[in-house]
Amino acid sequence: MASVSASLASLSLIRTTLAGLDLPGQFLRRTAAPLDFDEIGHAQRRAIVRGLFGAMHAPPGGVGLAAPMAGLDLRLVVASDGEHTLAMANPEVVATGGGEVAYAEGNLCLPGVHAEVVRPATITVRWQDVAARTHEETFDGWIARILFHELELLDGGFFTDGVAPEAIVATTPARRAAAALASVYAEPEPAAPAGAREPLRIVTLPPELHDLRRSVLRMPAAAVAGGGLDQLALRELLATLFLTLHARGVGELSAPQVGIGLRVAVVDDQREPPLALIDATVVERGGDEQAEVEECPSLPGLSCVVDRPERLRVRNHTLAGEPYEFDADGDRARLIAHALDHLDGVLISDHALGGLHRSDLDQRVEADLKLALGGAPPAAGGARRRRRQ
Protein backbone atom coordinates (compact mmCIF):
# COMPACT_ATOMS: atom_id res chain seq x y z
CA MET A 1 0.00 0.00 0.00
CA ALA A 2 1.37 3.41 -0.92
CA SER A 3 2.17 5.79 1.93
CA VAL A 4 -0.60 8.37 2.29
CA SER A 5 -0.84 11.17 4.84
CA ALA A 6 -2.88 10.04 7.85
CA SER A 7 -4.37 13.53 8.13
CA LEU A 8 -6.48 13.00 5.02
CA ALA A 9 -9.27 11.20 6.87
CA SER A 10 -10.41 10.22 10.32
CA LEU A 11 -13.03 7.94 11.76
CA SER A 12 -16.64 9.01 11.39
CA LEU A 13 -19.69 8.02 13.39
CA ILE A 14 -22.62 5.82 12.51
CA ARG A 15 -25.80 7.85 12.42
CA THR A 16 -29.23 6.33 12.94
CA THR A 17 -32.75 6.91 14.26
CA LEU A 18 -34.84 5.32 17.00
CA ALA A 19 -36.42 3.04 14.39
CA GLY A 20 -33.00 2.33 12.86
CA LEU A 21 -31.70 1.05 16.20
CA ASP A 22 -34.05 -1.93 15.90
CA LEU A 23 -33.09 -2.91 12.34
CA PRO A 24 -31.57 -6.39 11.96
CA GLY A 25 -27.87 -6.03 11.31
CA GLN A 26 -27.60 -2.71 13.20
CA PHE A 27 -23.91 -2.54 14.14
CA LEU A 28 -24.59 -0.46 17.25
CA ARG A 29 -26.53 -3.37 18.76
CA ARG A 30 -23.61 -5.83 18.66
CA THR A 31 -21.68 -6.94 21.73
CA ALA A 32 -18.20 -5.60 21.00
CA ALA A 33 -15.21 -7.94 20.93
CA PRO A 34 -12.33 -7.54 23.38
CA LEU A 35 -9.33 -5.61 22.10
CA ASP A 36 -6.66 -8.24 21.42
CA PHE A 37 -3.25 -6.63 21.95
CA ASP A 38 -1.57 -9.34 19.88
CA GLU A 39 -3.95 -8.89 16.95
CA ILE A 40 -3.83 -5.08 16.90
CA GLY A 41 -0.37 -3.62 17.25
CA HIS A 42 0.65 -0.55 19.23
CA ALA A 43 0.72 1.79 16.21
CA GLN A 44 -2.78 0.79 15.14
CA ARG A 45 -4.06 1.11 18.72
CA ARG A 46 -2.76 4.67 18.87
CA ALA A 47 -4.31 5.41 15.46
CA ILE A 48 -7.67 4.07 16.63
CA VAL A 49 -7.61 6.18 19.80
CA ARG A 50 -6.59 9.26 17.79
CA GLY A 51 -9.41 8.59 15.33
CA LEU A 52 -11.96 8.17 18.13
CA PHE A 53 -10.96 11.43 19.78
CA GLY A 54 -11.12 13.14 16.37
CA ALA A 55 -14.62 11.81 15.75
CA MET A 56 -15.70 12.78 19.27
CA HIS A 57 -14.50 16.38 18.98
CA ALA A 58 -15.81 16.90 15.43
CA PRO A 59 -18.90 19.16 15.31
CA PRO A 60 -21.31 19.05 17.05
CA GLY A 61 -18.81 17.52 19.52
CA GLY A 62 -19.21 15.22 22.49
CA VAL A 63 -17.56 14.18 25.74
CA GLY A 64 -17.39 10.41 25.30
CA LEU A 65 -17.26 7.83 22.53
CA ALA A 66 -17.41 4.04 22.35
CA ALA A 67 -15.60 2.35 19.45
CA PRO A 68 -18.81 0.74 18.03
CA MET A 69 -20.14 4.27 17.41
CA ALA A 70 -17.39 4.61 14.79
CA GLY A 71 -18.10 1.18 13.30
CA LEU A 72 -15.32 -0.63 15.20
CA ASP A 73 -16.00 -3.99 16.84
CA LEU A 74 -13.76 -3.29 19.83
CA ARG A 75 -14.26 -2.85 23.56
CA LEU A 76 -12.66 0.58 23.60
CA VAL A 77 -13.94 3.87 25.03
CA VAL A 78 -12.55 7.41 25.03
CA ALA A 79 -13.81 10.27 27.20
CA SER A 80 -12.87 13.85 28.05
CA ASP A 81 -14.83 16.09 30.43
CA GLY A 82 -12.26 18.86 30.85
CA GLU A 83 -10.82 17.23 33.97
CA HIS A 84 -10.31 13.62 32.88
CA THR A 85 -9.01 12.41 29.50
CA LEU A 86 -9.32 8.64 29.23
CA ALA A 87 -8.77 5.87 26.69
CA MET A 88 -10.04 2.58 28.12
CA ALA A 89 -9.51 -0.79 26.48
CA ASN A 90 -11.54 -3.76 27.70
CA PRO A 91 -13.20 -1.80 30.52
CA GLU A 92 -15.30 -3.62 33.09
CA VAL A 93 -17.50 -2.23 35.84
CA VAL A 94 -16.18 -3.40 39.21
CA ALA A 95 -18.69 -1.58 41.43
CA THR A 96 -21.34 1.15 41.49
CA GLY A 97 -22.75 3.21 44.34
CA GLY A 98 -23.58 6.62 45.76
CA GLY A 99 -27.33 6.51 45.20
CA GLU A 100 -29.05 7.28 41.91
CA VAL A 101 -29.07 10.50 39.89
CA ALA A 102 -31.35 11.50 36.97
CA TYR A 103 -29.93 13.46 34.05
CA ALA A 104 -30.89 14.18 30.43
CA GLU A 105 -28.72 12.24 27.97
CA GLY A 106 -28.21 12.14 24.22
CA ASN A 107 -25.88 10.38 21.79
CA LEU A 108 -23.97 11.58 18.73
CA CYS A 109 -25.16 8.52 16.77
CA LEU A 110 -28.80 9.34 17.52
CA PRO A 111 -29.09 13.07 16.69
CA GLY A 112 -32.05 14.99 18.06
CA VAL A 113 -32.98 12.35 20.65
CA HIS A 114 -32.84 12.98 24.41
CA ALA A 115 -34.20 11.23 27.48
CA GLU A 116 -33.83 11.54 31.23
CA VAL A 117 -31.88 8.54 32.50
CA VAL A 118 -31.33 7.41 36.10
CA ARG A 119 -27.86 6.06 36.89
CA PRO A 120 -25.72 5.39 39.98
CA ALA A 121 -23.67 8.36 41.16
CA THR A 122 -20.33 6.50 41.19
CA ILE A 123 -18.69 3.82 39.06
CA THR A 124 -15.50 1.82 39.62
CA VAL A 125 -13.87 0.66 36.39
CA ARG A 126 -10.97 -1.69 35.66
CA TRP A 127 -9.40 -1.23 32.22
CA GLN A 128 -6.22 -1.41 30.14
CA ASP A 129 -4.48 1.52 28.50
CA VAL A 130 -3.03 1.56 24.97
CA ALA A 131 0.18 0.00 26.28
CA ALA A 132 -1.81 -2.89 27.90
CA ARG A 133 -1.23 -1.68 31.47
CA THR A 134 -4.11 -2.35 33.89
CA HIS A 135 -5.80 0.42 35.90
CA GLU A 136 -8.68 0.60 38.35
CA GLU A 137 -10.35 3.79 39.58
CA THR A 138 -13.61 5.06 41.04
CA PHE A 139 -15.26 8.00 39.28
CA ASP A 140 -18.13 10.24 40.32
CA GLY A 141 -20.00 13.23 38.97
CA TRP A 142 -20.09 14.04 35.26
CA ILE A 143 -17.31 11.64 34.23
CA ALA A 144 -19.12 8.75 35.96
CA ARG A 145 -22.25 9.39 33.88
CA ILE A 146 -20.17 9.59 30.69
CA LEU A 147 -18.56 6.22 31.44
CA PHE A 148 -21.89 4.55 32.29
CA HIS A 149 -23.26 5.79 28.96
CA GLU A 150 -20.30 4.65 26.86
CA LEU A 151 -19.68 1.30 28.56
CA GLU A 152 -23.25 0.12 27.99
CA LEU A 153 -22.73 0.76 24.26
CA LEU A 154 -20.04 -1.94 24.27
CA ASP A 155 -22.82 -4.47 24.97
CA GLY A 156 -25.23 -3.06 22.39
CA GLY A 157 -27.17 -1.01 24.95
CA PHE A 158 -28.49 2.51 24.39
CA PHE A 159 -29.54 5.23 26.80
CA THR A 160 -33.10 5.02 25.46
CA ASP A 161 -33.46 1.36 26.42
CA GLY A 162 -35.90 0.95 29.29
CA VAL A 163 -37.13 4.54 29.04
CA ALA A 164 -40.88 4.94 28.53
CA PRO A 165 -41.58 6.00 24.91
CA GLU A 166 -43.45 9.11 26.05
CA ALA A 167 -40.34 10.21 27.99
CA ILE A 168 -38.11 10.19 24.88
CA VAL A 169 -37.83 13.56 23.11
CA ALA A 170 -36.95 13.19 19.42
CA THR A 171 -36.58 15.95 16.83
CA THR A 172 -34.85 15.53 13.47
CA PRO A 173 -32.26 18.05 12.25
CA ALA A 174 -34.76 19.12 9.57
CA ARG A 175 -37.38 19.81 12.24
CA ARG A 176 -34.89 21.76 14.38
CA ALA A 177 -33.85 23.84 11.36
CA ALA A 178 -37.49 24.60 10.55
CA ALA A 179 -38.11 25.62 14.17
CA ALA A 180 -35.06 27.91 14.16
CA LEU A 181 -36.15 29.60 10.94
CA ALA A 182 -39.69 30.06 12.28
CA SER A 183 -38.23 31.65 15.40
CA VAL A 184 -36.10 34.08 13.40
CA TYR A 185 -39.12 35.28 11.44
CA ALA A 186 -41.54 35.03 14.38
CA GLU A 187 -43.72 32.63 12.42
CA PRO A 188 -45.57 29.51 13.57
CA GLU A 189 -43.43 26.39 13.40
CA PRO A 190 -44.47 24.27 10.39
CA ALA A 191 -45.59 20.72 11.01
CA ALA A 192 -42.95 18.12 10.20
CA PRO A 193 -43.81 16.27 6.97
CA ALA A 194 -44.95 12.69 7.53
CA GLY A 195 -42.19 10.17 7.04
CA ALA A 196 -39.46 12.83 6.84
CA ARG A 197 -36.01 11.24 6.44
CA GLU A 198 -32.48 12.46 7.02
CA PRO A 199 -29.33 11.36 5.17
CA LEU A 200 -27.18 8.96 7.18
CA ARG A 201 -23.50 9.45 7.91
CA ILE A 202 -21.10 7.21 6.00
CA VAL A 203 -18.60 5.21 8.06
CA THR A 204 -14.98 6.02 7.18
CA LEU A 205 -11.48 4.71 7.89
CA PRO A 206 -8.21 6.69 7.87
CA PRO A 207 -5.39 5.25 5.75
CA GLU A 208 -3.51 3.63 8.61
CA LEU A 209 -6.61 1.61 9.56
CA HIS A 210 -7.68 0.32 6.14
CA ASP A 211 -6.64 -3.20 7.09
CA LEU A 212 -8.43 -3.20 10.46
CA ARG A 213 -10.70 -6.26 10.38
CA ARG A 214 -12.69 -5.05 13.39
CA SER A 215 -14.41 -2.34 11.32
CA VAL A 216 -18.00 -2.76 10.10
CA LEU A 217 -16.55 -1.96 6.66
CA ARG A 218 -14.50 -5.17 6.88
CA MET A 219 -17.22 -7.57 8.03
CA PRO A 220 -19.18 -9.68 5.51
CA ALA A 221 -22.84 -8.64 5.66
CA ALA A 222 -25.65 -11.00 6.62
CA ALA A 223 -28.31 -12.13 4.14
CA VAL A 224 -31.66 -10.32 4.20
CA ALA A 225 -33.52 -13.59 3.62
CA GLY A 226 -34.51 -15.10 6.94
CA GLY A 227 -33.05 -12.16 8.88
CA GLY A 228 -36.32 -10.82 10.24
CA LEU A 229 -36.50 -7.68 8.08
CA ASP A 230 -40.03 -7.21 6.70
CA GLN A 231 -40.79 -5.57 3.34
CA LEU A 232 -41.81 -2.27 4.92
CA ALA A 233 -38.56 -1.95 6.88
CA LEU A 234 -36.54 -3.03 3.83
CA ARG A 235 -38.27 -0.41 1.68
CA GLU A 236 -37.48 2.27 4.30
CA LEU A 237 -33.83 1.18 4.42
CA LEU A 238 -33.59 1.43 0.62
CA ALA A 239 -35.23 4.88 0.65
CA THR A 240 -32.74 6.12 3.24
CA LEU A 241 -29.80 4.68 1.31
CA PHE A 242 -30.95 6.44 -1.87
CA LEU A 243 -31.35 9.70 0.07
CA THR A 244 -27.85 9.38 1.52
CA LEU A 245 -26.42 8.44 -1.89
CA HIS A 246 -27.82 11.58 -3.51
CA ALA A 247 -26.90 13.79 -0.54
CA ARG A 248 -23.27 12.65 -0.91
CA GLY A 249 -23.26 12.75 -4.72
CA VAL A 250 -22.06 9.15 -5.15
CA GLY A 251 -23.19 6.48 -7.61
CA GLU A 252 -23.61 3.54 -5.21
CA LEU A 253 -23.96 2.94 -1.50
CA SER A 254 -24.14 -0.21 0.61
CA ALA A 255 -25.84 -0.81 3.95
CA PRO A 256 -22.56 -1.66 5.78
CA GLN A 257 -21.29 1.84 4.89
CA VAL A 258 -23.98 3.28 7.19
CA GLY A 259 -23.53 0.67 9.91
CA ILE A 260 -26.18 -1.88 8.84
CA GLY A 261 -24.64 -5.33 8.30
CA LEU A 262 -27.12 -6.55 5.68
CA ARG A 263 -26.58 -7.54 2.05
CA VAL A 264 -28.36 -4.46 0.69
CA ALA A 265 -27.02 -1.74 -1.63
CA VAL A 266 -28.37 0.87 -4.03
CA VAL A 267 -27.02 2.10 -7.38
CA ASP A 268 -28.03 5.29 -9.19
CA ASP A 269 -25.75 7.02 -11.67
CA GLN A 270 -28.71 9.11 -12.94
CA ARG A 271 -28.17 7.73 -16.43
CA GLU A 272 -29.82 4.33 -16.08
CA PRO A 273 -32.78 3.36 -13.85
CA PRO A 274 -31.97 3.17 -10.11
CA LEU A 275 -31.21 -0.31 -8.83
CA ALA A 276 -31.70 -1.96 -5.43
CA LEU A 277 -29.36 -4.88 -4.73
CA ILE A 278 -30.85 -7.36 -2.23
CA ASP A 279 -28.85 -10.52 -1.44
CA ALA A 280 -27.23 -10.05 -4.85
CA THR A 281 -24.38 -12.20 -6.16
CA VAL A 282 -22.33 -12.22 -9.36
CA VAL A 283 -22.98 -15.39 -11.32
CA GLU A 284 -20.86 -14.58 -14.37
CA ARG A 285 -18.11 -12.16 -15.37
CA GLY A 286 -17.30 -11.38 -18.99
CA GLY A 287 -15.25 -9.18 -21.30
CA ASP A 288 -11.82 -7.75 -20.66
CA GLU A 289 -10.69 -6.32 -17.34
CA GLN A 290 -10.93 -2.52 -17.39
CA ALA A 291 -8.57 -0.42 -15.23
CA GLU A 292 -10.03 2.87 -13.98
CA VAL A 293 -9.46 5.19 -11.04
CA GLU A 294 -12.04 4.75 -8.28
CA GLU A 295 -12.85 6.67 -5.12
CA CYS A 296 -15.03 5.73 -2.16
CA PRO A 297 -16.74 7.92 0.47
CA SER A 298 -15.63 5.45 3.15
CA LEU A 299 -11.99 6.22 2.24
CA PRO A 300 -12.28 10.00 1.76
CA GLY A 301 -9.57 11.93 -0.02
CA LEU A 302 -8.06 8.84 -1.63
CA SER A 303 -8.18 7.12 -5.01
CA CYS A 304 -6.64 4.11 -6.70
CA VAL A 305 -6.69 2.23 -9.99
CA VAL A 306 -8.95 -0.84 -9.90
CA ASP A 307 -9.45 -3.61 -12.47
CA ARG A 308 -13.11 -4.57 -12.97
CA PRO A 309 -14.76 -6.91 -15.48
CA GLU A 310 -16.43 -5.24 -18.46
CA ARG A 311 -19.65 -7.24 -18.03
CA LEU A 312 -21.52 -8.88 -15.15
CA ARG A 313 -24.47 -11.19 -14.80
CA VAL A 314 -26.07 -10.71 -11.39
CA ARG A 315 -28.62 -12.74 -9.45
CA ASN A 316 -30.73 -10.33 -7.43
CA HIS A 317 -33.98 -10.41 -5.40
CA THR A 318 -37.13 -8.33 -5.28
CA LEU A 319 -38.54 -6.78 -2.11
CA ALA A 320 -40.62 -9.93 -1.76
CA GLY A 321 -37.51 -12.11 -1.96
CA GLU A 322 -38.14 -13.45 -5.46
CA PRO A 323 -34.91 -14.16 -7.39
CA TYR A 324 -34.18 -12.83 -10.87
CA GLU A 325 -31.09 -12.22 -12.99
CA PHE A 326 -29.92 -9.25 -15.04
CA ASP A 327 -26.90 -8.17 -17.09
CA ALA A 328 -24.82 -5.03 -16.66
CA ASP A 329 -21.82 -3.64 -18.50
CA GLY A 330 -19.52 -0.64 -18.55
CA ASP A 331 -19.99 1.97 -15.84
CA ARG A 332 -23.01 0.22 -14.35
CA ALA A 333 -21.09 -3.04 -13.98
CA ARG A 334 -18.29 -1.17 -12.19
CA LEU A 335 -20.69 0.47 -9.75
CA ILE A 336 -22.36 -2.87 -9.00
CA ALA A 337 -19.00 -4.62 -8.50
CA HIS A 338 -17.90 -1.85 -6.11
CA ALA A 339 -21.16 -2.13 -4.13
CA LEU A 340 -21.01 -5.93 -3.88
CA ASP A 341 -17.40 -5.69 -2.65
CA HIS A 342 -18.66 -3.67 0.33
CA LEU A 343 -21.09 -6.48 1.20
CA ASP A 344 -18.12 -8.85 1.45
CA GLY A 345 -15.96 -6.48 3.53
CA VAL A 346 -13.73 -5.60 0.57
CA LEU A 347 -12.47 -2.03 -0.05
CA ILE A 348 -10.91 -0.45 -3.14
CA SER A 349 -7.59 -0.37 -1.26
CA ASP A 350 -7.58 -4.19 -1.53
CA HIS A 351 -7.61 -3.93 -5.34
CA ALA A 352 -5.26 -0.95 -5.66
CA LEU A 353 -2.95 -1.22 -8.68
CA GLY A 354 0.07 0.95 -7.98
CA GLY A 355 -1.05 1.90 -4.47
CA LEU A 356 -3.32 4.55 -3.00
CA HIS A 357 -3.11 8.18 -4.01
CA ARG A 358 -4.63 11.44 -2.95
CA SER A 359 -7.77 12.06 -4.97
CA ASP A 360 -7.85 14.60 -7.80
CA LEU A 361 -10.26 16.71 -5.74
CA ASP A 362 -7.96 16.68 -2.71
CA GLN A 363 -5.02 17.71 -4.88
CA ARG A 364 -7.01 20.52 -6.50
CA VAL A 365 -8.03 21.85 -3.08
CA GLU A 366 -4.40 21.82 -1.93
CA ALA A 367 -3.28 23.57 -5.11
CA ASP A 368 -5.91 26.30 -4.69
CA LEU A 369 -4.96 26.73 -1.03
CA LYS A 370 -1.26 27.11 -1.83
CA LEU A 371 -2.00 29.63 -4.55
CA ALA A 372 -4.30 31.58 -2.26
CA LEU A 373 -1.56 31.72 0.38
CA GLY A 374 1.09 32.74 -2.14
CA GLY A 375 2.87 29.40 -2.45
CA ALA A 376 3.65 27.26 -5.48
CA PRO A 377 1.04 24.64 -6.44
CA PRO A 378 2.07 20.98 -6.35
CA ALA A 379 3.30 19.38 -9.53
CA ALA A 380 0.48 18.02 -11.68
CA GLY A 381 0.22 14.25 -11.88
CA GLY A 382 -0.72 12.16 -14.88
CA ALA A 383 -4.39 12.52 -15.76
CA ARG A 384 -6.57 9.45 -15.63
CA ARG A 385 -10.26 8.85 -15.86
CA ARG A 386 -11.74 9.07 -12.36
CA ARG A 387 -14.71 7.10 -11.09
CA ARG A 388 -16.51 8.50 -8.04
CA GLN A 389 -18.24 5.59 -6.35
Half-sphere exposure of 255 (CA within 13 A, CB side): 31
Of 152, 243, 238, 212, the C-alpha closest to 347 is 212
Q: How far is residue 369 CA from its own chain's centroid?
A: 29
Q: Which amino acid is present at 273?
A: P
d(CA 169, CA 36): 38
Of 88, 57, 93, 95, the C-alpha closest to 74 is 88
Point out which residues pair with 95 in neighbouring strands: 124
Residue numbers belonging to the annotated binding site for Fe cation:
296, 338, 342
Instruction: Give me the catalytic one of 105, 150, 294, 295.
Output: 150
Residues in the chain: 389
d(CA 207, CA 213): 13
Identify whether 208 is a catalytic site residue. no
Residue 106's φ and ψ, nearest 5 degrees, are -145, 180
Checking DSSP bridges between strand 252-254 and strand 168-170, what pairing results, if any?
A: unpaired
Q: Which residues are catalytic?
A: 150
